[in-house]
Amino acid sequence: MDPAWAASGGLPVHAIHLPDQPWGPALGETALAALRTGLQVDFLVLRAADPGGRAQAAAFLAVLEGLLEVTQGRGPRIVLRPEPGAARGLADRLREVRGEAVGFCWDPGLTPDLAWVEDRIYCAVGGAGDDFGPIQRLGYRWNVAVPATDPESFRAEAAAILRRFPPVLFPAGPAPDRPEAP
């Protein structure tokens, strides 16, 4: 972790997005190391493709089971950020094993698959150039994670997002006390 985060003046970190790597023991160790950082995060986000064969599915489910056991009731929520086109398969696989505790992370690539996971979106990630309309229409109310490696780049990107999507207009839709969102 960049030391600048620790000296950021209390800048909250709501999600840790793990680097892409194959599902297996090494990913589990990376996730455990992230949990030991001491950051009080709400979400631990793992990139995922739909595991194809039996070996891949077993590795996928073993990592998920281990993380759910470690975080149960006292840690961040486990969230999958599906590879483009993988949301339906991941949602089906989680339903098969009754993995209701695992959520999904919205990003612009998830929009075509949104119907399969819209009731399980726990967090979102995006930048100033992204269209947040699909989750805005769902009434999504969580903060959007902004990819950043240091606090200054985070502040700049977050400010750009807030200029495009003022929080008072989130979620979209008419209400007596606010206009329709652009």
pLDDT at 169 over 60: no
**Residues 89-147: pLDDT tens digits?**
999 999 988 888 899 999 888 888 888 888 899 888 888 889 888 888 887 766 688 87
Report the pLDDT averaged over residues 18-33.
92
CATH 3.20.20.150 fits 3-169, yes or no: yes
CA 87 to chain centre: 13
75 or 105, which is more confident = 105
Q: Name the DSSP letter for residue 146.
A: -
What is the crossing angle of helices 25-35 and 54-71, to 10°?
20
- Residue 177's pLDDT band (boundaries 50, 70, 90)? very low
Half-sphere exposure of 27 (CA within 13 A, CB side): 22
Q: How many CB atoms lie within 10 A of CB 15?
A: 24
Q: Note every long-range contact of 2-10, with CB atoms under 8 Å and residues 24 or more positions apart, other chains counting.
A: 2/149, 2/150, 4/150, 4/151, 4/152, 5/39, 5/150, 5/151, 8/151
Residue 62, pLDDT > 80, answer: yes
